[in-house]
Structure 1
């Protein structure tokens, strides 16, 4: 069994919910214990990885979250791989690359969107593409924001109040992301889970 420590380089504080999912995936992959936290470093991907490497307390893994910002994740993977290679730490770095945006992972579970919006039994169509089309659809954040509004089934002043709660709704959706739910059908999620699993297998061998 292996004790694992990690750092998460994320795009913003709203993505801190990824930490809990990383801990779960690492344990599920065979680690005996895991400790990890996000980092506040700024700059290029290479500069931020370098900051983690310079820390006094070393970590086993460095997860780098970068949204693909398109339907093709390969440029982001290449960016992360090149940075890690240049710093000589390819064995430590694990990319976390949602296709389009992180919100694409949250769009997959309609029941959770209805739940956080206060209408768990709602039936109103939410305008969300099918799971097969989510990663080829632009602006998942905007789609998610609109879906939360529709799901609330509110009007007037209540609807305006609901719109202001999107940040909290997104945070809750990320916290509740079900690894065994609809998100498992998204290729970018599958690749993320596979990468974590294989990296932990390497550490445990």
Structure 2
């Protein structure tokens, strides 16, 4: 049975908004044949920019089936960020928590390229895919990769375009699926789908 999903993405920053397309692809991988839309939700500017405040603002707009909440793990870690989102008490919320940053997932996608694997091994001592989640600054590493062969780092619109394209290009069932934070994202997504539409549990059992 196919269904329609109207979903929102609340980002930590506007530069992460390309994740909307990636998350839509992930949902389609989970629910092939469903009609799915993921749109960026931008709360009105407010002094309180906490996750709870953002979810409270979007809760008043009862058109969304699921609400993706993006929050980089940074140094706090996945569990701390997940608890921050769970504590808001919004059952439609799906934690989107890259470890440590969204750029980790972009680098995992680029791992498919032999040139990138060799470059990461030579320039960041990354010899295994899963060690990407141990990098302290994946954003800087992605920027350096994008700037290879140049005399200076990509900046401004050029860097913004490269980063956006790298995020949009993530193969949701490719190398990124081997990272722990991505696996947790998929698990949280599938759980939220069943939480919001309990009849899906029966379909999973079948």
If the TM-score is normalised by the length of the shorter chain, which range does it land in? 0.7 to 0.9
**Secondary structure of 2:7's partner?**
strand
Is the contact between residue 100 and residue 140 of structure 1 (CA under 8 Å) also seen in structure 2?
A: yes
Gaps spanning 5+ residues in structure 1: where? 115-119
Cα distance between partner residues in 2 of 1:20 and 1:198: 20
The aligned runs of 1:151-166 (5 Å cut-off) are 153-154=149-150, 159-160=151-152, 162-164=154-156, 165-166=158-159
Matched, 1:52 2:58: yes
Q: Which residue of 2 aligns with 1:2?
A: 3
Deviates more, 1:127-136 or 1:178-187: 127-136
Question: Which of 185, 196, 200 is the aligned partner of 2:189?
Answer: 196
Render the CA deviation track for 1:124-169: whole Å, top value 9, x for unaligned: 724242312111120111111112222xx23xxxx34845522211
Question: Which of 126, 129, 132 is the aligned partner of 2:130?
Answer: 132
Gaps spanning 5+ residues in structure 2: where? 201-206
Render the CA deviation track for 1:78-115: whole Å, top value 9, x for unaligned: 100111x2xxx2x2111100011111111123367x7x
Question: Which TM-score applies when normalising by structure 1?
Answer: 0.80
**Secondary structure of 1:108's partner?**
helix
Cα distance between partner residues in 1 of 2:80 and 2:190: 22
Is the contact between residue 71 and residue 136 of structure 1 (CA under 8 Å) also seen in structure 2?
A: no
Deviates more, 1:134-143 or 1:195-204: 195-204
Q: Which residue of 2 aligns with 1:76?
A: 81
Aligned length: 187
Aligned Cα root-mean-square deviation (Å): 2.4
